[in-house]
Amino acid sequence: MINKLVERVKRNWGNRKWIIYGAAISFVVEEI
């Protein structure tokens, strides 16, 4: 599931909302 979210973030990287979302996901992944 995380992989799908990451793929979506990469596809929509131009959108500021997705950049913030991607940063949040990355933080959660690193915490795990």
Q: Which residue range forms the structural domain that includes residue 22?
A: 2-31
Report d(CA 29, CA 31) in Å as an integer: 5
Cβ neighbours of residue 12 closer than 8 Å, sequence gap 6 or more? 18
Q: What is the pLDDT of residue 2?
A: 78
Q: What is the pLDDT of residue 16?
A: 76
**Number of residues that make up the chain:** 32
Report d(CA 23, CA 4) in Å as an integer: 15
DSSP string, 1-32: -HHHHHHHHHHTTTSHHHHHHHHHHHHHHHH-
Q: What is the pLDDT of residue 22?
A: 80
Q: What's the domain count of the chain?
A: 1
Q: What is the pLDDT of residue 11?
A: 76
pTM: 0.41
In this predicted model, what pLDDT tens digit does every residue of 1-32 receive, in sequence order? Answer: 778 877 877 776 666 777 788 888 888 888 76
Q: What is the pLDDT of residue 13?
A: 64
